[in-house]
Structure 1
Amino acid sequence: MTRCVLTGIDGSPQSEAAALWAAAEARRRGRALRLLHAWPWLDAGTENVSRPGDLRPRALDALRGIGDRIRHDHPGLPVEAAVISDDPVDGLVAAAKGQELLVLGSRGLGGFAGLLVGSVGLAVAAGAPIPTVLVRSGQAPAERPAAVEATREVLVGLDGREPGDAVVEFAVTEAELRGCRLRVVHGWDLVPAWAYGGLMPPQVDPVEQEAVEAALMSPVLTDLRAKHPGVDIVEDIRLGGGARALLEASTHADLVVVGRRETRHRLGPRLGPVAHAVMHHCAAPVAVVPHP
């Protein structure tokens, strides 16, 4: 089976933005684009059969509309559309197996305006077996001023103690595809210690500790630069923790890349605190990459 870029469509502006972003990504990667609508109450018959209450024709119309726009904008890009009768989370996670990339619209419908990702996006990103990108409305590819174009970069969060090779390789590949800089961000914090029943300020020199953190990153960066000599790779070490560092550094990011451990929690797949925070609050598209 030929691997493709898969995107979920639900008729929202966010899913339309995700589809347009996915189309540009599919063209960069030389892959086909598959548009998928998953809903548990669609009739399970063929798409030529319409029954009272069957949502399949309406879903197919929405898919055809965005598919036609993408074919117009990207002549020659193979685009297919499908509707499946399944729960959106289960359907998207199952459909992602063996594919190149999954792209979703990022929409939070709760009462917290600062939270940008809804329950479906969170659940799919936590359980999908392939990298999953969440795109907000307004993040579809567009022309940029030359001054902004020159500052484009892909960001990746790196823990020097547990680098996550799959995460870093995904990020550097994305930078190569875009012809832009890769910024490797490492956020660290001063951890207070317990003493006499309470928290005490850490007895650490920040300057010395930053040198330690840089030394942890150095082997990974050296190896990365050797493997990808054509990519401008810069290191960015910041005091304040991983999520804060990525959010502060993401001003001009094309994409922010974070990792997600594949190990299963007893309550099911889950996201770590850094990935969770970045997904909710980052203005740029966010890629969540599973790794061992």
Structure 2
Amino acid sequence: MWFTQEKLPLGKYIAQYVEWLTQHGASVFDSISLSLAGIITVFTNALCWFNPWALIVIFALLAYYIQRKVSLTLFVAFSFLLIFNLGYWQETMETLAQVTLATLVCVIVGVPLGIIAAHRPWFYTVLRPVLDLMQTVPTFVYLIPTLTLFGLGVVPGLISTVVFAIAAPIRLTYLGICDVPEELMDAGKAFGCSRRQLLARIELPHAMPSIAAGVTQCIMLSLSMAVIAALVGADGLGKPVVNALNTADIAMGFEAGLAIVLLAITLDRICKQRETVKRGDA
């Protein structure tokens, strides 16, 4: 058909651009890769430095301190004891370090972007299609250029995780700020609050439940990338899942998958309880 004979070379242009970046920015990308890999190594070594028994107690006490529920505290202790018993403690700590770092990056970048978008509608108009693209494009598509630029290892998996998960805190921060009642804003202005004081004393406290939900979503999305990150050389619970898939090892696949599920449920329940407590206090 005549319409498809002359194909638009979009993929060719993207490939040329990535090749240009690889040739002219290799030192920059190598520095970024070494820095991020070093940070992840520090996170992982810090978690693995603790005795597993002591760390299980710390996690259980932290869960009780946050949400004050004995049942959830026992579930957290049981989950980590089961992971320890199955022999996936090291992989779980590696995954937890990657998820923690990815979530920190998403929150540090995403929350300010959400605030700016809520205060400047034109910025959100520009940002929204970018967020739609980041959430809908299959992760393997942007995993290819990150793999080309940063090489095998945990770094391309981490960057892909951030790209995939950062939309959640941006959108929910934007929604939380936009949902602040006009009456509260008018009252603050009547008392002479500056724009910074309105943000710190009215907008952020009112939007905090939405921001907390964005953080929870970010954690879950980051955990969902564990297996995909393992395909490009990242350590963690995704690696035994990939190995089980390659060797058709049902036992290994089930145990590693169960460890991911337990870690996800534990983090989700702790964060949701924190959100509920704050809503009740308000």
Task: Calculate the TM-score normalised by the size of structure 2.
Answer: 0.23
> Which structure: larger Rg?
2
Say which structure is richer in helix: 2
